[in-house]
Amino acid sequence: MIYKTNSVSDIKIAYIGGGSKGWAWGLMGDLADEKELSGIIRLYDIDESAAKSNEIIGNCLNEVDKAVGKWKYECAPTLEEALIGTDFVIISILPGTFKEMDSDVHTPEKYGIYQSVGDTVGPGGDIRALRTIPMYVTIAKAIKKYAPNAWVINYTNPMTLCVRTLYKIFPKIKAFGCCHEVFGTQNLISAALSDMEGIQDVPREDIKINVLGINHFTWLDKISYQGSDLMPLYKEFTNKYYESGYILDESSHWINNSFTSANRIKFDLFRRYGIVAAAGDRHLAEFCPGSWYLQNPDKVKAWMFGLTNVSSRVIDLKKREERSERLKNKEEFLIIGNSGEEGISMIKALLGLGDKITNVNLPNTGQMQDIPFDCVVETNAIFQKDSVTPVVAGILPNPVNGLVLRHVYNQEAILEAGLTCNKDLAFAAFANDPLVTCTLDNAESLFNEMLFNTKEYLAGWDI
Amino acid sequence: MIYKTNSVSDIKIAYIGGGSKGWAWGLMGDLADEKELSGIIRLYDIDESAAKSNEIIGNCLNEVDKAVGKWKYECAPTLEEALIGTDFVIISILPGTFKEMDSDVHTPEKYGIYQSVGDTVGPGGDIRALRTIPMYVTIAKAIKKYAPNAWVINYTNPMTLCVRTLYKIFPKIKAFGCCHEVFGTQNLISAALSDMEGIQDVPREDIKINVLGINHFTWLDKISYQGSDLMPLYKEFTNKYYESGYILDESSHWINNSFTSANRIKFDLFRRYGIVAAAGDRHLAEFCPGSWYLQNPDKVKAWMFGLTNVSSRVIDLKKREERSERLKNKEEFLIIGNSGEEGISMIKALLGLGDKITNVNLPNTGQMQDIPFDCVVETNAIFQKDSVTPVVAGILPNPVNGLVLRHVYNQEAILEAGLTCNKDLAFAAFANDPLVTCTLDNAESLFNEMLFNTKEYLAGWDI
Amino acid sequence: MIYKTNSVSDIKIAYIGGGSKGWAWGLMGDLADEKELSGIIRLYDIDESAAKSNEIIGNCLNEVDKAVGKWKYECAPTLEEALIGTDFVIISILPGTFKEMDSDVHTPEKYGIYQSVGDTVGPGGDIRALRTIPMYVTIAKAIKKYAPNAWVINYTNPMTLCVRTLYKIFPKIKAFGCCHEVFGTQNLISAALSDMEGIQDVPREDIKINVLGINHFTWLDKISYQGSDLMPLYKEFTNKYYESGYILDESSHWINNSFTSANRIKFDLFRRYGIVAAAGDRHLAEFCPGSWYLQNPDKVKAWMFGLTNVSSRVIDLKKREERSERLKNKEEFLIIGNSGEEGISMIKALLGLGDKITNVNLPNTGQMQDIPFDCVVETNAIFQKDSVTPVVAGILPNPVNGLVLRHVYNQEAILEAGLTCNKDLAFAAFANDPLVTCTLDNAESLFNEMLFNTKEYLAGWDI
Amino acid sequence: MIYKTNSVSDIKIAYIGGGSKGWAWGLMGDLADEKELSGIIRLYDIDESAAKSNEIIGNCLNEVDKAVGKWKYECAPTLEEALIGTDFVIISILPGTFKEMDSDVHTPEKYGIYQSVGDTVGPGGDIRALRTIPMYVTIAKAIKKYAPNAWVINYTNPMTLCVRTLYKIFPKIKAFGCCHEVFGTQNLISAALSDMEGIQDVPREDIKINVLGINHFTWLDKISYQGSDLMPLYKEFTNKYYESGYILDESSHWINNSFTSANRIKFDLFRRYGIVAAAGDRHLAEFCPGSWYLQNPDKVKAWMFGLTNVSSRVIDLKKREERSERLKNKEEFLIIGNSGEEGISMIKALLGLGDKITNVNLPNTGQMQDIPFDCVVETNAIFQKDSVTPVVAGILPNPVNGLVLRHVYNQEAILEAGLTCNKDLAFAAFANDPLVTCTLDNAESLFNEMLFNTKEYLAGWDI
């Protein structure tokens, strides 16, 4: 890297999962919008042709006037070639294919278990984690060998176990996990300010928050805006919209869009616990007992959120593949600018170009009380030159802590099961999941079937 | 107290709940069997006539030849009179009446929630705890005022919250909680030794164990007998009887007796977690998700244990009242000797008459890892002259820890709710209970109804 | 308080020690320089006439053109009147008089114990703490009663025990302690940048640091400037000036000024521990074994720092008293602007007028590993609207931790001794101090003499 | 091993340091006295001829009538041969020779630093530790490879760092450290009972104690005998003999014997801290600031203990070598019976032949509060079949904790220095030692000289 006043050039970034037809394009657009940074992106993907396509698409940006950030994109045929000498590593992969995801999400429906996402916890999240852990073992070993000093940013789910695996295999890794779910809650609070007080268009960054919990089951115990505590306002807001729900973006109404919600679960959790649940309702629902929000499709409808089925994802991918072709052919160009993610501003802060406080997933080193050290938690942290320092976020209220710790220990069990190919331990965790509300016999059948469906990613297991 | 060689006389014991027609008689019989101790028992009960009756019954023992331990029984009309100058305090009360217990156990059945005991956790245990906490606040304050140096032995359920409340109100109290549930598991292991190896009549004390967990959800991660690890034997034993169950005492077959079981839950938990669950199946079931063992009466039957209905307790009480009359009239005398409880041997150890290692409920001061300090846990401890020292019991396996901590934090929430009359917090804990498998709406209705049924014990609450 | 866009008026500040002829003037000047804030300062002092004088002096500022911040100064005759309804409390007192300080600093010289400051640790700091603790008990109780929601900023030494006492007496107090010693080390690093690299006039705020330790014995394990790690540069710098020392401000050469130094102790500690000691050498020396830097006046001279005798403080006070007269008579006006302290910018951040990251003294809630919770530590924290959130600062290297913890436990002992008037415990701590290098007999004589000299502040003690 | 009722035969014990002319003979005598155990002892020593001699001496015991415990002694030429298939490993070695010990103890005298033992802490203990750590790395690796399930009993000093190194290298090792110093304090309390109360000949095992601290700087915060707290008695006893001292065994008066003392240091520490220091005065003195007890030989004499010079050890060895010859020639036989050590009774308890509670050195897993996990502490533990379970010993009073933690962190630094051959870190710890009261320059000269004197044991260091 070459440092100049307020800019850094010759940055090297390895993008693992660089064939992505989504996140990668957002990142490319963000980088093109950022004139203080420039360098090389090495795209690595197990689907090398996808990485090749993105190499073409990314380099096209240099022909776009608005693209002030200049980057060279290169397809890296191996992990080693992507990593050697790199300054940053971005990991954003799909662990397995839609075939496995389909099993994760829909096989449990046979036993009356519905999942709104299926990638974090719940039966789907558990099995996805078992499939992902060996991939992250490989990645962690490669980083240890080829790029031990690089900063590593993870976007893949299950976030907690991805980051946890990286640190387990390579304890000195400089890795953290980024997730935009908390931002959505800041946006909701901004909307509440507008709705209740007429204060409009407050940028989410101006909503000050204290973040604590684990990824996708994150909480805010302090929210304020310019010198006033917003908890009372949020309380009124949740009361006002408790029954009707509140739709943040009318263009993506939950009734048409399985990726959104009317925030009723958020309101219900606030009513009961007095602190703000800070993730999308689809994620929050999956961390709670199955009888609460995901009992059946009618209940889901009543709580005004959606079950994301995998077929919609397949359709979506189809569209993105078509777009990929257009982008390669310069029939269309990537959008320059803010994807809503914070990755670039984090990279800038790590390069010393301005401090930043934001929420991030890191091993617990004291930021959260009553959660074991080393478990990955999500709290605010200060990003500065070559350092990410979590703040002391404190402790969750007892009833919330009970809900969270249940998953913390389940995730620890899954980690151990994944690292040691221990089927009994994996099932013990699986059966403990709050969404696994079926009988133990059924739980075992379901587990075996789901494990079988993902077995090609489970080398060393006895399935 | 007067110390002589190997004996202590003039011991003063306050018995709170001294009108009891069960535990009290067992204790009286045990004391009569113990020639190294003598003194005065002050019986205090909110039902003073019941205490009066026990005064008579207890003093009758002095006419029995076999009664080598000489004690004088006195009814104490007030807590103060019972406590002043006392050396030991025994607390064994029924918090409320069978009317409230009936609501605890049976009201949830309206919503399809079945409980095998209903006095520890689950909806019944939660409500019972809320009712009991103010009673223990009163007791703790009285002990602080009148008998701050006395040793306090609790037998009341919910054990964990009774002991926790005592320490919360009076942190320097010398209190611990005793429970015989672990002994039953030692007896089962002794039976396994006989069944599998032909080694007969091994006394339970000779089965060496490491105990960890919380009361009624207690676990053993080490079991041995005379130089051999019994885990492999217990594994074979659980496999042999996994389907059929194993009945420890044929005279009290589970099919006729709602207080017993065929240990199938214990076997199932061992199969999944690899460590020994060490409480009666009726208790263990209540700590687990409702879908596992208590889904409905048929499931309970299939797992070969019983739901203890309160009407059977009423019938039982009737019999005990009749016996009380006979005992008062000297038509019958209490049985001298071992009730199966360890209270007396603990008192002896605290008096310096021989060390003792046994399991006991105490605030966590390091004996259990990953459970917050001050929460009440059950582990082994060494009883010596004027000291109870817990051993470092270690840490539970991850999946078990997740199950246990869920209750630990729920109990902390109930404690706080009980101390501050906080209905919202109480409901938050109630809804988090693994047995509360109904919808949130139903949970709220149930909670309100149950709270209403016990409202005369909830001074200061807004019900 | 009245919030407008980017400004707050009608702020109420209680200044305890408001008769000060030093800190108070600096604060007044800082406030006058700050146009976003205005309100009332209530000056409370046990010397009411001194507070009266400062009322006059402060209000004179309103006649100064450059004084853009408008404040009204009022002498408050009682603590109660100062505190009721206040938003902020500033505590900056002299515990006792120069008579007691003279004993703190110079009595130990009889036994060959030399102290460079005598207000933090060492025999002088210990005795000063015992005298100060009851004062802070009074202040904490008054804040609890009259201003429980106010933010409390402490400037008094011994910082650690002042803040610790406030929290001990009133655990929900919103207090923190400010100290400028770390700033001096940032200035030194800025000077090193200039000296070694020719990068000039880097403001100290741009030197990014991770702060950890306890007040006046604070350490930096990360230092950077605009994207580069400064540890290697600082290492070279310390080597270059190890023998000669480095004088930051030639106008205050250590040889003429007992308040300054040539930083040789800082260099020596860096050489041995590899991390930056971040306080003035006069303070650092007092935390180390007496044989290292304070063995005798010659050794002090060799290490190029000064012993601050109390007579120089008396002379200094005399000058300040004369200045007070001139200020009251408007012969002179206070200097408007930056005193080098951060109090005002912290107040602004707490009012929601811009976030701030700086080092501060707070009870440990996770920010420092291996130091007990609740002990007061100095680390970075984020100041935001109504919150001060410490960052996870980590853990000191083992040899430094040993030095620091020695004082942590000594301070805990002194706190307990001060609260309970326990002379034996106070002596146990006193004798453990690393500067108390005399024999135990002499230590006892010294302790008794020093305690006697401060006895009028030790109500309840048996002296 | 072959288990029979109440006995175990065919036990295999590897004795590392098996050529010893002291401890080994005591162990042989103890084993011969114990009829419930029999088996094979494999003697390994870097001085193979010494091991050979002990093979002969040990086997001679089988000719002695009183020798009811039958053991076969075999010299093992390699560590591997000693360890393979062994059930127990005893480690009792002299790290280095008297030449190195001479430097440890006497080189510091050049700089006015006197040591009473020089094998635990202080400059001598520090250097001895650096020399010992690599030996224990070798031993730990061999145990991991050849006898991972064996129980390992360490007797070598520095105890703390020997045990710490074993666990650092092989975390699953089943090792603990035994030391008889606490027993001496129990004997002293027994003597106090006799002296003050006329209760004679109370065996030390009947003095019940709670042990906490680190080896050779161990403390008792509870002492009792048959139902009475002995703290008041011990207080009177220490007052009575504070000036005169109390000599436990007149036959070994401190004035003639550098291995004993008149317990004045124990009395002084009790007077100041209110808890019982429980090691020999010679050891206790070395953990305290040099100005307290070891300032100079006159001070040592005034405190009535002795400096153990190495020349006396040389003379002693000469005598033992002569005895070795006589033993080999059957001119003399080993004494059968109690050496005063507890090793055999620990082995019996681990074999399941009776529980035992005694003090032992183990990694901290919760038994001591405020000392980091994994550091080796000395507390009571319960020995049962194949398990050693420490009890929750609690926390030391603040001033004592400060003294203890100073050494805990120093030892951690020395461990790290020893494992990584880090001379700077070693010196940082060395200079922090409370006995190193000389100037920093002298400390550095002394350190270099002492390190040079032991350099042949410091492979990989740059000396």
Q: Please answer yes or no on whether D292 and C398 come within 8 Å at the CB atom.
A: no
CB B21 within 8 A of CB B39: no
Residue C254 has pLDDT above 80, yes or no: no
Is D433 an interface residue toward C (CB < 8 Å)? no
Mutate to test the interface with A, among B288, B427, B432 (most CBs of A within 10 A): B432
Among candidate residues C223, C259, C260, C264, the one with its CA nearest the CA of residue C245: C264
CA nearest to B221 within chain D: D387
Q: Please state, for a pLDDT cut of 90, what percent of chain C lies above it.
A: 87
Is A405 an interface residue toward C (CB < 8 Å)? no
Q: Which residues of D touch B389 (CB under 8 A)?
A: 210, 380, 391-393
Among candidate residues B392, B412, B350, the one with its CA nearest the CA of residue B174: B350
> What's the residue count for chain A?
463
Please tell me which of the candidates A3, A353, A391 has its beta carbon nearest to residue C390: A391
Residues in CB range of B108: below 8 A, 6 or more apart? B114, B115, B122, B123, B124, B435, B446, B450
- What is the rounded CA–CA span in Å between residue D318 and residue D311? 11
- What is the rounded CA–CA span in Å between residue D363 and residue D169? 13
pLDDT digits (tens, 9 = 90+) for A367-410: 999 999 999 999 999 998 899 999 999 999 999 999 999 999 99
Q: Which residues of A touch C366 (CB under 8 A)?
A: 366-369, 392, 394
CB D93 within 8 A of CB D135: yes
- Read off the pLDDT band of A1 (50, 70, 90): confident
A180 assigned to active site: yes
The tokens of D195 are what? 């002296």
- Mark which residues 169-208 of B lie under 8 Å from D by CB: 208
Is A405 an interface residue toward B (CB < 8 Å)? yes
pLDDT, mean of residues B437-453: 97
Mutate to test the interface with B, among D226, D373, D389 (most CBs of B within 10 A): D389
Q: Which residues of A touch C369 (CB under 8 A)?
A: 365-366
pLDDT digits (tens, 9 = 90+) for B197-207: 999 999 999 99
Mutual orientation of helices D231-240 and D181-197 as an angle, nearest 10°?
80
- What is the rounded CA–CA span in Å between residue A98 and residue A120? 16
A106, A180, A253, A283: which is the annotated catalytic residue? Answer: A180
* Main-chain dihedrals φ then ψ at residue A207, nearest 5 degrees: -85, 105
Q: Which residues of B touch D390 (CB under 8 A)?
A: 391-392
Among candidate residues D437, D93, D92, the one with its CA nearest the CA of residue D286: D437
pLDDT, mean of residues A318-344: 89
Q: Please answer yes or no on whether D367 and B366 come within 8 Å at the CB atom.
A: yes
Residue C250 has pLDDT above 80, yes or no: no
Reported as half-sphere exposure (CB side, CA atoms, 13 A), residue D347 has a value of 28
CB C365 within 8 A of CB A200: no
The sign of the torsion formed by the CA atoms of C432, C436, C442, C447 equals negative
- What is the rounded CA–CA span in Å between residue B391 and residue A394? 29
| B5: exposed, middle or buried (Cβ count in 10 Å: 0-12, 13-18, 19+) | exposed
Q: Please answer yes or no on whether A392 and C387 come within 8 Å at the CB atom.
A: no
CB A390 within 8 A of CB A365: yes
B180, B253, B283, B407: which is the annotated catalytic residue? Answer: B180
- Read off the pLDDT band of B253 (50, 70, 90): confident
Residue C252 has pLDDT above 80, yes or no: no
Is D273 an interface residue toward C (CB < 8 Å)? yes
The DSSP letter of residue C7 is E
Containing C177, the helix (H) or strand (E) segment is: strand C174-177
Q: How far is B233 from chain D (nearest CA, A)?
A: 16
CA nearest to C371 within chain A: A366
Among candidate residues C151, A406, A344, the one with its CA nearest the CA of residue B404: A406
Question: How remote is the C-alpha of B424 from its chain's centroid?
Answer: 28
pTM for the whole thing? 0.94
- Read off the pLDDT band of D201 (50, 70, 90): very high
Containing C38, the helix (H) or strand (E) segment is: strand C37-44
| Residue C303: per-residue pLDDT | 96
Q: Please answer yes or no on whether C399 and D295 come within 8 Å at the CB atom.
A: no
Residue C396 has pLDDT above 90, yes or no: yes
pLDDT, mean of residues B285-300: 97
The tokens of C259 are what? 């308040």
| Residue A259: per-residue pLDDT | 73
Mutate to test the interface with A, among C7, C385, C386, C395 (most CBs of A within 10 A): C385
Q: Which residues of D touch B382 (CB under 8 A)?
A: 357, 380, 382, 391
Q: Please answer yes or no on whether B390 and D391 come within 8 Å at the CB atom.
A: yes
Residue D349 has pLDDT above 80, yes or no: yes
Which amino acid belongs to residue D112? G
pLDDT, mean of residues D301-317: 91
CA nearest to D395 within chain B: B365
Containing C44, the helix (H) or strand (E) segment is: strand C37-44
Q: Please answer yes or no on whether B369 and D365 come within 8 Å at the CB atom.
A: yes
D partners (3+ CB pairs within 8 A) are B, C
Q: How many CB atoms lie under 10 A from the CB of residue C66?
A: 13
Containing D181, the helix (H) or strand (E) segment is: helix D181-197
Residues in CB range of D42: below 8 A, 6 or more apart? D12, D13, D14, D15, D18, D74, D75, D76, D81, D82, D86
Q: How far is A347 from chain C (nearest CA, A)?
A: 12
Residues of A337-371 as b/e, b for ≥16 C-beta within 10 angstroms?
Answer: eebebbbbbbbbbbbbbeebbbbbbbbbbbbbbbb
Mean pLDDT of chain B: 94
Residue D188 has pLDDT above 70, yes or no: yes
The DSSP letter of residue C87 is S
- What is the rounded CA–CA span in Å between residue A188 and residue A195? 10
- What is the rounded CA–CA span in Å between residue C162 and residue C176? 10
pLDDT, mean of residues C403-421: 98
Among candidate residues D401, D386, D403, the one with its CA nearest the CA of residue D347: D386
- Read off the pLDDT band of C463 (50, 70, 90): confident
CB B387 within 8 A of CB D230: no
Question: How remote is the C-alpha of C398 from its chain's centroid?
Answer: 26
Q: How many CB atoms lie under 10 A from the CB of residue C201?
A: 7
Q: CA distances (Å), B309 to each of B298, B436, D14, D145, in order?
A: 15, 19, 61, 58
CB B55 within 8 A of CB B28: no
What are B174's strand-pairing partners? Answer: B151
| Residue A339: per-residue pLDDT | 78
* Main-chain dihedrals φ then ψ at residue A153, nearest 5 degrees: -115, 120
- What is the rounded CA–CA span in Å between residue A85 and residue A14? 9
Q: Which residues of B touch A425 (CB under 8 A)?
A: 399
Q: Vertex C344, ends C340 and C350: CA angle to 5°? A: 140
Distance in angstroms between the alpha carbons of the first and the last residue of chain C: 47
- Read off the pLDDT band of D120 (50, 70, 90): very high
What are B7's strand-pairing partners? Answer: B4
Is A296 an interface residue toward B (CB < 8 Å)? no
Q: Which residues of D touch C291 (CB under 8 A)?
A: 437-440
User: A249-253, A329-333, B447-451, C187-191: which has the minimum mean pLDDT?
Assistant: A249-253
Residue C312 has pLDDT above 90, yes or no: no
- What is the rounded CA–CA span in Å between residue C366 and residue C355? 21
The DSSP letter of residue C255 is T
Residues in CB range of D62: below 8 A, 6 or more apart? D70, D71
Q: CA distances (Å), D395 to each of B175, C168, D213, D268, D277, in order?
A: 20, 20, 9, 21, 14
Mean pLDDT of chain D: 94
| Residue D341: per-residue pLDDT | 79
CA nearest to A372 within chain B: B370
The tokens of C71 are what? 């404040």
The full set of domains in chain D, from first to last, is 2-178 (3.90.1820.10)
| Integer-rounded Cα radius of gyration of chain D | 21
Q: Please answer yes or no on whether B227 and D389 come within 8 Å at the CB atom.
A: no
The tokens of C413 are what? 């002992």
Q: Vertex B375, ends B371 and B378: CA angle to 5°? A: 80
Residue B250 has pLDDT above 70, yes or no: no
Q: How far is D405 from chain B (nearest CA, A)?
A: 19
Residue A250 has pLDDT above 70, yes or no: no
CA nearest to D397 within chain C: C413
- What is the rounded CA–CA span in Å between residue B117 and residue D187? 53
Q: Please answer yes or no on whether A406 and B408 come within 8 Å at the CB atom.
A: no
Q: Please answer yes or no on whether A384 and C224 come within 8 Å at the CB atom.
A: yes
pLDDT digits (tens, 9 = 90+) for C225-238: 887 889 999 999 99
Q: DSSP of A32-53, one letter per residue?
A: HT-TTEEEEEEEE-SSHHHHHH
Which residue carries 């020396």 as its tokens? C285
| Residue D250: per-residue pLDDT | 67
B partners (3+ CB pairs within 8 A) are A, D
